[in-house]
């Protein structure tokens, strides 16, 4: 078993530290946020992530997991130091490496001269970062200190981070020195997951390419959804029909209002930037990002059409986190959508099962923060479902209809069935699904009647 230091105790770092402690290693988590470290020492998990709180407790009670703000406490005794600090989007669109630089210098100053330390880049870092971290360590370290840098990008999904870390699809390791990569591989218990060992830059690009591919699938199906919507076809069946092709597969083909979160938008943007700087014109990535921006806007314009304008209307927004099972609001579509609704003159009543505390800090004070989906719907002119939390699937929709001033529901994630919603008396619109009119729609001129493109217009 090894001594491990983990620098940065956010979604990735805390997960990494807790999982390595669960594997039996001795782990010290370092974070420069004193309040966060104090909470972690008390066993209070600062983020919502299924299973993480329990794992944190087990690690603390077993004495294998501890937290500090001091690099010296953690790095001097560590054989492996994982860098898990944030790499947000810089104003130029590339990754902001200031936290990585700070961490690398702080690690360098504490490297023990008497033995070799392996520094592992787990944060998502642009190609060339392994060399950068190595250079910064070299500038700061005692000249006798020996170290190697390994890239070990993280592929966890928020909401299922613990499971993803315990059962990864693959472990990617990049290093100039293959033996260093093999030592990092040995930290993970024997799993069926293939271990892919490459050079540093290749491993760094694998992470960006994986996220770029997933975002491409999302924007692809959202573009197909628009076409389906215009032609009266059903994108859910299209996705099913193409996903059964083994060359395509079913994943990441749910049409909706696009991707958000701390990774997909910034990583697609960063790869676009890297490509542009390297004189490779990244056309596909630019389109992926453009479609994603439009997907968010389309929910607001749909609602605007259905309500005959948003000025003076009240809208209930269900779901704020960028996806279910997390409280993470970074790049959450809901934030853009709410801001745009407010700019159009709407009042917003918002509810999310996990992200209310974080949302209070980010949303304008005019947004009414509600204690559940029903309270949000009370007296509203429409509901906009933005995040597909499971709890929204089990709601009493008859009660919701009665609470609303008008039974209008725009479903940004295709959670509900258009026929069932029409039967319940809702004016309902999903994404890329045919419109089913309710009895009220037929008599309501402001229902935003949607007529598919006629055969004649298709020039067949
Ligand atoms: P985060 O913002 O949740 O956590 C980063 C932590 O690092 C914070 O607690 C911060 O206080 C701390 N920190 C910053 N600078 C520090 C320093 N110099 N020394 C010590 N602590 C410092 O970020 P995250 O979501 O965990 O992401 C970390 C990295 O992992 C990013 O590069 C991200 O792209 C990548 N990643 C994230 C996910 C995800 O789902 N969140 C998945 C895969 C990869």
DSSP string, 203-270: HHHHHHHHHHHHHHHHHHHHHHHHHHHHHT--HHHHHHHHHTSTTT-STT---SS---SSSHHHHHHH
User: Is the C-beta atom of 238 inside 6 A of ligand 1?
Assistant: no
| Cα 401 to ligand 1 centre (Å) | 42
* Full-model pTM: 0.93
Ligand 1: which of 16, 31, 71 to mutate, judged by most atoms within 8 Å of the beta carbon? 31
How far apart (Å, rounded) are the C-alpha atoms in residues 55 and 166? 12
| Cα 280 to ligand 1 centre (Å) | 29
Distances (CA, A) of 98 to 95, 101, 131, 174: 9, 5, 15, 22
Neighbours of 189 (CB within 10 A): 9
Neighbours of 214 (CB within 10 A): 18
pLDDT value of position 448:
54
Encoded tokens for 257? 């209002």
| Cα 216 to ligand 1 centre (Å) | 24
- Considering 9, 84, 89, 263, which one is annotated as catalytic? 263
Element (H, E) at 373: helix 373-377
User: Is the C-beta atom of 68 inside 6 A of ligand 1?
Assistant: no
Q: Is 89 an active-site residue?
A: no
CA-wise closest residue to 383 among 395, 172, 63, 243: 395
pLDDT value of position 190:
76
User: Which atom, in ligand 1's list, is nearest to the CA of 85?
Assistant: 7
Q: What is the mean pLDDT of each run of 10 residues along the chain (460 residues)?
A: 97 97 97 98 94 97 98 96 97 96 98 94 97 98 96 95 94 97 94 94 98 98 97 97 98 97 95 94 95 95 96 98 93 96 98 96 96 98 98 98 97 97 96 87 56 75
| Cα 17 to ligand 1 centre (Å) | 12
Length of the chain: 460
User: Is the C-beta atom of 158 inside 6 A of ligand 1?
Assistant: yes
Question: Is the distance from CB of 305 to CB of 370 less than 8 angstroms?
Answer: no
């Amino acid at each position: 078993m090894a001594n491990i230091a983990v620098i940065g105790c956010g979604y990735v770092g805390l997960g990494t530290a807790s999982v390595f402690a669960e594997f039996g290693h001795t782990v010290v988590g370092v974070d420069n946020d004193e309040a966060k470290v104090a909470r972690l020492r008390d066993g209070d998990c600062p983020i919502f992530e299924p299973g993480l709180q329990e794992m944190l407790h087990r690690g603390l009670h077993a004495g294998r997991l501890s937290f500090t703000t001091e690099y010296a406490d953690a790095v001097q005794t560590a054989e492996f130091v994982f860098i898990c600090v944030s790499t947000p989007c810089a104003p130029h669109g590339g990754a902001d490496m200031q936290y990585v630089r700070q961490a690398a210098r702080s690690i360098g100053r504490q490297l023990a001269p008497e033995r070799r330390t392996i520094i592992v880049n787990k944060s998502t870092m642009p190609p060339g970062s392994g060399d950068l971290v190595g250079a910064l360590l070299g500038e700061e370290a005692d000249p006798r200190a020996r170290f190697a840098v390994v890239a070990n990008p993280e592929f966890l999904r928020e909401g299922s981070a613990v499971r993803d870390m315990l059962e990864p699809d693959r472990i990617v390791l990049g290093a100039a020195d293959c033996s260093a990569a093999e030592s990092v591989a040995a930290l993970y218990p024997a799993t069926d997951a293939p271990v892919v060992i490459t050079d540093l830059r290749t491993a760094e690009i694998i992470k960006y390419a994986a996220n770029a591919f997933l975002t491409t699938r999302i924007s692809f199906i959202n573009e197909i959804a628009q076409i389906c919507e215009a032609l009266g076809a059903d994108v859910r069946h299209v996705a099913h029909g193409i996903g059964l092709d083994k060359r395509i597969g079913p994943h990441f083909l749910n049409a909706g209002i696009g991707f958000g979160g701390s990774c997909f938008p910034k990583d697609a943007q960063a790869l676009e930037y890297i490509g542009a700087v390297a004189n490779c014109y990244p056309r596909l990535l630019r389109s992926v990002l453009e479609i994603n921006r439009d997907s968010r806007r389309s929910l607001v314009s749909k609602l605007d059409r259905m309500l005959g304008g948003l000025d003076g209307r009240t809208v209930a927004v269900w779901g704020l986190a960028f996806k279910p099972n997390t409280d993470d609001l970074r790049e959450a579509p809901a934030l853009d959508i709410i801001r745009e609704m407010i700019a159009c003159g709407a009042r917003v009543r918002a509810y999310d099962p996990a992200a209310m505390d974080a949302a209070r800090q980010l949303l304008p004070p005019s947004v009414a923060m509600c204690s559940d989906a029903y309270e949000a719907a009370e007296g509203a002119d429409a509901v906009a479902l933005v995040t597909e939390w499971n709890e929204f699937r089990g709601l009493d929709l008859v009660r919701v209809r009665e609470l609303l001033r008008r039974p209008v529901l725009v479903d940004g994630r295709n959670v509900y069935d258009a026929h069932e919603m029409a039967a319940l008396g809702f004016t309902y619109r999903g994404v890329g699904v045919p419109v089913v009119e309710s009895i009220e729609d037929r008599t309501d001129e402001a229902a935003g009647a949607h007529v598919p493109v006629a055969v004649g217009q298709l020039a067949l």
